[in-house]
Every structure is written in structure tokens, then in C-alpha cells.
Amino acid sequence: MRLDGKTAIVTGAGSGFGAGIARRFAAEGARVMVADINIEGAMEVASEFGGVAHEVNVADGASVEEMALRAGAELGRVDILVNNAGVTHLPGFMEDISEADFDKVWAVNCKSVYLTARALVAGMKERGAGAILNVASTAGVSPRPKLNWYNASKGWMITATRAMAIELAPFGVRVNALNPVAGDTPLLKSFMGEDTPEMRAKFLSTIPMGRFSTPEDLANAALYLCSDEASLVTGVCMEVDGGRCI
């Protein structure tokens, strides 16, 4: 019960890494808002542990403000924020990626971090406590070819994490990030372009431990970074990658 009495918002929690994190937080005693643009997925996950399902577009300021207001009404406060929602563009040469795809990657992966901070950081500062976790990627550390603008968005997220951490440290608010390697989640096909045994083997060959990451892997790391056990840990961007970035 390492999060007993805590409250949390996890974005993109209707599936994949976010769902794994939400489930683990709830199992450790937290009251969790499962926030996702896919409300059906959010409701399914939240129903497993009595969480609060909420439909949100993390790239839209009004939608994020509405999420924060509902979290305040339903949870009382927000102790933990996990910025997990993310998208990618299909693999392609950088000059061939459409402007619409670039804008979507930027809005969901980067602007959302600003919007959730704008909506929730003031309350954390006022209480003198809080934990923010950004789910970045090994792509921001060791970029893969033909995922250029996704790589760049995750590099931005890593820098944003460190910038947020140094600014919020005097207020008792910690900010960290996770850098997962490719996971067996709904986004995997988008990273690979096609989900075939050959393409999976190609991706796995770059991971020394020889397997994709799982929601449970990310949930375990997220639990530590968002718990009081990590009370002196801030500005850390932790690889959960089976050795890919070595």
C-alpha cells in the first residue's frame, strides 16, 4: 500500500502502459482517475478497481481544465499526475511526414505536458507536495531512423521534465520521467509500420535483454518514482529498456 491515501490522474490509461500504471497505483491504495480520449477503454479499466473514468483530449486546453476540475470534485486533490498519453507518426523520411501528423505528435506528446501543468501545478505548489511523471521514450535518448518527429517530441519531453523538476523542487513538487523501450501495446504497430514476425525480430535485435517492455514493467518503475520512497528523486529520466540505450 505504498500509495495509500494518495490520488492520481493517469492520462492515456485506457490501454497499454497507462492502464498498467493505473491498475498498479490502485492496487497500492491510490484513488485513480483513468483519463483517455477513448472513454470506453477508460471505463473498462476504471471498472476493475472502482476508479474514475474521464474522457479527455490532452491536446485541448479546455478539455484538460475540465479534467482537472472533475478530479478536484471526485478525488479532492491531485497528488500524482502521470502524463502518459502519446502518439506517433508512421515510419517515414522526415521530409515526407505530413504537417497534420507533425502537429498531432507535437500537440499530444508535448503541448499536453504544458496544459496539464497549467491546470494542476498551482494546486501542488500550494500544498507543498506532488509528483509528476512524464512517460517519454528511449527514442528521445537513442533515436530510431524514420521516426524523426516522434523522436524529437520525446527528447523535448525529457528536457521539459528536467526543467520542470528544477523549477518545482523548492515547492516540494517532484518531476521525473520514464524512457520505455518499444512495448507490446497498441502503439507498437505504428512504430514498426507493419506488425510482422520479421519486423518484430528487427526491433527485438536492438534490445539486449531480448524482449519488449510491458505495462507491468512501466507500472513498477512508475510506482517507485511516484511514491514517498523516491522523496529525494527528481529530474530523473529512467530507462526501462532492457539495455537498449547502453
Catalytic residue annotation: 150
Amino acid occupying residue 175: V
Q: What is the DSSP letter of 108?
A: I
Contact in structure between 4 and 29 (CB atoms under 8 Å) = yes
Residues 22 and 9: beta-carbon distance below 8 Å: no
CA within 13 Å, CB half, 77: 14
**18 vs 21: CA distance, rounded Å:** 5
- Residue 52 C-alpha from the chain's centroid: 18
| First-to-last C-alpha distance (Å) of the chain | 33
Biggest CA pair distance of the chain: 52
| Cell, residue 189 | 504497430
Q: Of 150, 224, 214, 219, whose CA–CA distance to 182 is shortest?
A: 214
- The C-alpha cell at 133 is 511523471
